[in-house]
Structure 1
């Protein structure tokens, strides 16, 4: 081992995913101990066993191990510290409150010049007090580019501008910035923003001029959300509570929207989004959202899903193909997921299946089927194919549990009809598995 080149030894240590293994290698080998100060990153993960054994005097505390490791490195570019399963940790355990201000002051100044990436997965917010961790990061780590924080209760009081930060992920934590005024002010060059289950927000407004990708998963009560972002390209929003969303993004091209709410969704307002090319729409009230969506001629690729297999009330706006093509008249590629197809089949009247003007622009369609009545499903498929005169490719995936007599009847009927120039592709889908395409 001692005869191996310095660069090879360093590469071996760099491939270890846990810095605790690095520490063990240092103890076991003098050669590894010699090269370890040249490592550029730390990833230390506390296991539940480490936590349970931490009361023993023979077990070195987690924070002490981390501080010892980081003090040995000459240059630190990346830090990742985490708890294996923080839900299992008892609250108010000081040695595992990784966003504690006192702990942060012990090591952040050490890496202030070189640190580019920081990830801290601490204790849930109900397990600790409000932390000044974010202001401390902004004070010491002015060259930070990527920041990921999971769990905790974060204050933004006295937070400084971070002009180098381009990527921010906040996950399952409480943020004391109800309207996001401080984040908008302090992160002028942010390009990627991910919020997952962030609490403490009331009427958040994203106004970041350089933002290009935004992913937001709303689980807590957030009455409104506004995004005024001149350079936003990708938007991914999942709402599990009713939220009124306003989007103004002239460069926006890819949008993913999920409204998994049982009550009628709050308004979705899309303004000045004339570059939208691809849209994924999934909701309990997909028909209602389409009724409120502005006519968008730029959308070329459209995916529809529905969590409502049939209209709840007579007055509910229904999901129909006629409505789809009225709102998105220039769609060339259409994917209809199983819930949306089931809702479409529930609308048996011919008006809902009238596609208008022959749909010459539609070139390919993919449908995911749960076959209950083979003749009904075939009838719906046939109506689409008869009207979409420009269609060249159709992909049909049948649910795995429906493979058998009913799928055979459906397949036979499809093959018995002739649609010249149409290329068929058959597949099998299951909810928790990747699609299996047979040809």
Structure 2
């Protein structure tokens, strides 16, 4: 500090508080408080704060001193910042299960303590009942799985009672009850990740969060016949962790959907505004109703069940971009068994833009070798393909033959594959054989 005073005195307190809010980490904010009286004063009106158990444990080891309990510290912070707090992030997961040694809980090995269990009623009430609870706009809690996985928690009902002004809510690593859950009309963004949810059909979620624009359900278990019924939903990412009998999405305004599932008996997509669909699925069930996707323009499929998926999704003339990828465990023999080569190339030629993922590109060799060189028209204007680490461009020639005149083809070589000379030779052969194609070259890893 200079003799003339704190140089930060010239800045408005609101500006300094916003700067501290961008720092966010509670430990760093505490260091700023010690460095300057002006920052100390501004810290009391800080709008955003993040408290991480792993960071606190590290500082405790480095400093050799004690540290107050994590849950008590959270409550103290909420009381201290009070009506100024807009965003609160609490993390006892440390990226995995333990903030100290990153050891994830093994099956049957549970932590009987509860000092890091952030989604229990007592822990939530400690900060939610302060003046900060009513003004919070964003809340992110990553719980400590060894303590949270075997205890049903009341986080959702309490948050819905005390934090009615929340716009964004993210909860991770917990078993959540929905008893006495209240409607939250201001909430537009919800993420539940690695959650056991006592709402097997998602009825409570649909009723109590009716204004969601974004919904992310990542590894949410406890579902039986889940149905997303949200009239204002715009974007959804749903990674189904178990094998429910049916999956239903009724969302008339939905434009983006990423769905990862195994083999539901019933799949119903009542999403007439959907423009982008990213689908990862083992097998399409016997009952699939997806014929209302009139605005679908971007489709990504990761699967081997092409005999079901191609007719169900690709008989839509509005689709402009198609991306195909295979499951990690698949082989070129499975691809050949799953789809006729002539049928595959005819399908690819019917789209304006095609992207073939690394695994699909790798296993395409045997499939293209069976191609019978049947002539047909092509709409293909853009093609992206990955050359595998041990492969070359030569087996891809049948694919280049279906490109329309002046098609733009991007070939990505594996970064650890052939040397520069071999790459240059392959590039020269491609350009000589298909001079009408506009070539682009790159690498992938």
TM-score norm. by structure 2 comes to 0.84
| Alpha carbons of structure 1 residues 159 and 406: separation in structure 2 relative to 1, 3 Å | same
1:192 positional shift: 0.3
1:49 positional shift: 6.1
Equivalent-residue separation in structure 2 for 1:414 and 1:371 (angstroms): 18
Pairing partner for 2:86 from 65, 77, 85: 77
Please name the residue that 1:221 is paired with: 243
| Alpha carbons of structure 1 residues 199 and 279: separation in structure 2 relative to 1, 3 Å | same
5+ long unaligned stretches in structure 1: 431-439
| Alpha carbons of structure 1 residues 403 and 329: separation in structure 2 relative to 1, 3 Å | closer
Pairing partner for 2:195 from 173, 177, 195: 173
Please name the residue that 1:394 is paired with: 409
Q: Which moved more, 1:192-201 or 1:42-51?
A: 42-51
Equivalent-residue separation in structure 2 for 1:346 and 1:34 (angstroms): 69
CA contact (8 A) 1:10 1:35 kept: yes
CA contact (8 A) 1:309 1:340 kept: no
1:413 positional shift: 2.5
Please name the residue that 2:386 is paired with: 368
- 1:221 aligned counterpart, secondary structure: coil
Matches within 5 A, 1:314-325: 316-318=337-339, 320=341, 322-323=343-344, 325=346
Please name the residue that 2:22 is paired with: 15
1:130 positional shift: 0.6
Equivalent-residue separation in structure 1 for 2:144 and 2:211 (angstroms): 29
CA RMSD, 1 decimal: 2.9
- 2:30 aligned counterpart, secondary structure: helix
- 2:435 aligned counterpart, secondary structure: coil
Equivalent-residue separation in structure 1 for 2:423 and 2:293 (angstroms): 41
1:160 positional shift: 0.8
Please name the residue that 1:109 is paired with: 129
Q: Which moved more, 1:241-250 or 1:21-30?
A: 21-30
Equivalent-residue separation in structure 2 for 1:170 and 1:303 (angstroms): 27
Number of aligned residue pairs: give it. 416
1:25 positional shift: 3.2
1:313 positional shift: 9.4
Please name the residue that 1:87 is paired with: 97
Pairing partner for 2:294 from 259, 271, 274: 274
CA contact (8 A) 2:148 2:173 kept: no
| Alpha carbons of structure 1 residues 49 and 135: separation in structure 2 relative to 1, 3 Å | closer
TM-score norm. by structure 1 comes to 0.85
Equivalent-residue separation in structure 1 for 2:363 and 2:311 (angstroms): 15
Pairing partner for 1:122 from 139, 143, 147: 143
1:226 positional shift: 1.0
5+ long unaligned stretches in structure 2: 100-109
CA contact (8 A) 1:269 1:293 kept: no
Equivalent-residue separation in structure 2 for 1:341 and 1:27 (angstroms): 57
1:122 positional shift: 0.9
